Amino acid sequence: MDYQKLAQRYDTPLYIYDFNQIKANYNALKQAFKARKSLIAYAVKANSNLSLLKLLGQLGSGADCVSIGEVRRALLAGIPNYKIIFSGVGKRDDEIAEAMEKEILYINIESEAEFHRVEEIAQKLGIPMRIGVRVNPNIDPKTHPYISTGLLESKFGVDIPTAQRLYLLAKKSPWLEPVAIHFHIGSQLTDLGPIKEASQIVADLARQLHRLDIDIRFFDVGGGLGIRYKDEEPIAPYDYAQAILSTLSGTDMTIVCEPGRFIVGNAGVFLTRVLYEKETPAKRFIIVDGAMNDLLRPSLYNAYHEVEVVGKEGEGRPADVVGPVCESGDFLAKDRPLPPTEHGDLILVKSAGAYGFAMSSNYNSRPRPAEVAIEDGRDRLIRERESFEYMIEKEVRFL
Ligand SMILES: *Cc1c(COP(=O)(O)O)cnc(C)c1O
């Protein structure tokens, strides 16, 4: 990849996505589940760029959405309503109503209170709604606490006795049609044990529900498949699928899988330019034009991203790669033995396709970076760099 050319053409900081890699990732996971009917419902929150959603839609992907904004994005990108799922702990009434009117595949319910809201709204609209219940299997996924969601102390899902009760209530309700069962124990999972354990617990519950004549047709295993940022040993898609499939004997539910990071994480890089080097007796800093507002993961999770200086080899004094934002937590990498750099050098931050642009903000009045797709050797802009005017549009008219 000619990063110099891309930086010249689109300026920095810049997100660059390899669409061929995204296709390959999608196909690998789809293929892994081929023993059964499956729907890969891409988790839109990982990277919600419309062109990227369109690409996935064309491959046959559905969408797992956590706001009505994401549902609208998915539809706009051509993903059909019957492949769209609406999840999340805090859905507003208007979001629930719109999802019903758009006749999406199902809503994943995360609490008893939400269950009653959804029933009431369905009744009011006169639209019976398909639902799933997110079950919390109380499994420790052994990942970062901020992205761990499967323990009873987490805000997500309901415990098994509550789930059983909700399914029975749904069965009796003329306004709710329980069609799915859902779990999602965390993100960046690299250990197969907890996934298999959770799947077993939820599959047993599904079998119980089948015996009670509750027709659960979708076994929704959430996302969470980890990728390699540094030296992790990611789970192979085939092993992941086998672990889940092995818990489903005697049922013929369709698997719904909601990968986000796995599809886009390693298919994206963040390109930034060196502004200055600053050396003190205590430390070496490489100050770049990208910052925590563009790529938050290092600051938020102390996440590791590999970095390299484009076109320069060798090692130098360990340096922190930091941005211009006025926070000591504003860094992209810490203590990396990078070669000496000069003003204008390019720094590549790898594995930035997931939860990169999607978590970006305008903090410090910094316009969000542009996004570029590379497909079959050709590059094209898929989101324009934000302008100052765009940033102030919603407030300037009140002056
Ligand atoms: C975040 C999330 C996902 C995607 O997680 P990844 O780790 O990116 O695969 C899938 N399903 C639900 C319900 C989520 O909250």
Cα of 250 from ligand 1 centre, angstroms = 27
Dihedral angle, C-alpha 80, 27, 201, 162, nearest 10 °: -20
Percent of the chain with pLDDT over 90: 94
**Residue 318: partners with Cβ closer than 8 Å, 6 or more residues away:** 284, 335, 336, 337, 338
DSSP secondary structure code for residue 5 in this structure: H
Is residue 179 predicted with pLDDT exceeding 70? Answer: yes
Is residue 142 predicted with pLDDT exceeding 80? Answer: no
Characterize the bridge pairing of strands 378-383 and 370-375.
Answer: antiparallel
Count how many Cα atoms sit within 13 Å of the Cα of residue 224 in the half-sphere of its side chain: 29
Across 275-294, average pLDDT: 97
Under the banding of pLDDT at 50, 70 and 90, the label for residue 154 is confident
Q: What is the DSSP string of 259-326?
A: -SHHHHGGGEEEEEEEEEEEE-SS-EEEEES--TTT--HHHHH-----EEETT--S--S-EEEE-SSS
Ligand 1 near 198 CB (within 6 A): no
Q: CB–CB of 255/316 below 8 Å?
A: no
Ligand 1 near 223 CB (within 6 A): yes
User: Which atom of ligand 1 has the smallest separation from the CA of 186?
Assistant: 7
Ligand 1 near 46 CB (within 6 A): yes
| Nearest CA among 233, 325, 263, 345 for reference residue 49 | 263
Of 44-58, 150-164, 376-390, least confident by mean pLDDT is 150-164
Across 96-102, average pLDDT: 98
User: Which atom of ligand 1 has the smallest separation from the CA of 260?
Assistant: 8
The yes-or-no answer on residue 65 being catalytic is no
3-class SS at 16? strand
3-class SS at 352? coil
* Mutate-to-test residue for ligand 1 from 187, 195, 225, highest number of ligand atoms within 8 A of CB: 187
Ligand 1 near 297 CB (within 6 A): no
Is residue 139 predicted with pLDDT exceeding 90? Answer: no
Cα of 224 from ligand 1 centre, angstroms = 6
* Mutate-to-test residue for ligand 1 from 143, 149, 184, highest number of ligand atoms within 8 A of CB: 184
| pTM as predicted | 0.96
Under the banding of pLDDT at 50, 70 and 90, the label for residue 140 is confident
Whether the link from the prior residue into 137 is cis, omega within 30° of 0, is: no
Across 76-94, average pLDDT: 97
Altogether, the residues listed in the chain come to a count of 399
Model confidence over 221-261: pLDDT tens digits? 999 999 999 999 999 999 999 999 999 999 999 999 999 99
Architecture of domain 33-259: Alpha-Beta Barrel (3.20)
Cα of 290 from ligand 1 centre, angstroms = 26
Q: What pLDDT, on a 0 to 100 scale, did the predictor assign at position 153?
A: 73
Model confidence over 16-61: pLDDT tens digits? 999 999 999 999 999 999 999 999 999 999 999 999 999 999 999 9
Fold of 3-14+266-391: Lyase, Ornithine Decarboxylase; Chain A, domain 1 (2.40.37)
**Average model confidence (pLDDT) for the chain?**
96
Characterize the bridge pairing of strands 38-43 and 62-65.
Answer: parallel
Cα of 285 from ligand 1 centre, angstroms = 34
Neighbours of 70 (CB within 10 A): 21
Q: Within the chain, what is the greatest distance between any pair of CA atoms? A: 72
Q: What pLDDT, on a 0 to 100 scale, did the predictor assign at position 150?
A: 66
User: Which atom of ligand 1 has the smallest separation from the CA of 261?
Assistant: 8
Same fold: 3-14+266-391 with 33-259: no
Domain definitions of the chain by residue range:
3-14+266-391, 33-259
Please tell me the distance from the alpha carbon of residue 399 to that of residue 394, in angstroms, as a whole number: 11
The residues with which 62 forms a beta bridge, in sequence order, are 41
Among all chains, which residue has been given the structure tokens 């360990």?
318
Is residue 147 predicted with pLDDT exceeding 80? Answer: no
Catalytic, out of 282, 326, 396, 399: 326
Please tell me the distance from the alpha carbon of residue 10 to that of residue 4, in angstroms, as a whole number: 10
Under the banding of pLDDT at 50, 70 and 90, the label for residue 294 is very high
Cα of 223 from ligand 1 centre, angstroms = 4
Q: What pLDDT, on a 0 to 100 scale, did the predictor assign at position 385?
A: 98
Q: What pLDDT, on a 0 to 100 scale, did the predictor assign at position 341?
A: 98
Ligand 1 near 110 CB (within 6 A): no
Q: What pLDDT, on a 0 to 100 scale, did the predictor assign at position 396?
A: 95
Please tell me the distance from the alpha carbon of residue 318 to that of residue 327, in angstroms, as a whole number: 21
Is residue 148 predicted with pLDDT exceeding 80? Answer: no
Please tell me the distance from the alpha carbon of residue 92 to that of residue 89, in angstroms, as a whole number: 10
Phi-psi region of 135 (alpha: psi -120 to 50; beta: other; left: phi over 0): beta
Question: 300 or 153: whose pLDDT is higher?
Answer: 300
Dihedral angle, C-alpha 118, 120, 126, 132, nearest 10 °: 20
For 163-236, strand residue ranges (E) read: 176-182, 218-220
Cα of 187 from ligand 1 centre, angstroms = 6
DSSP secondary structure code for residue 148 in this structure: B
Model confidence over 328-345: pLDDT tens digits? 899 999 999 999 999 999
Q: CB–CB of 48/73 below 8 Å?
A: yes
Ligand 1 near 184 CB (within 6 A): yes
User: Which atom of ligand 1 has the smallest separation from the CA of 355?
Assistant: 8
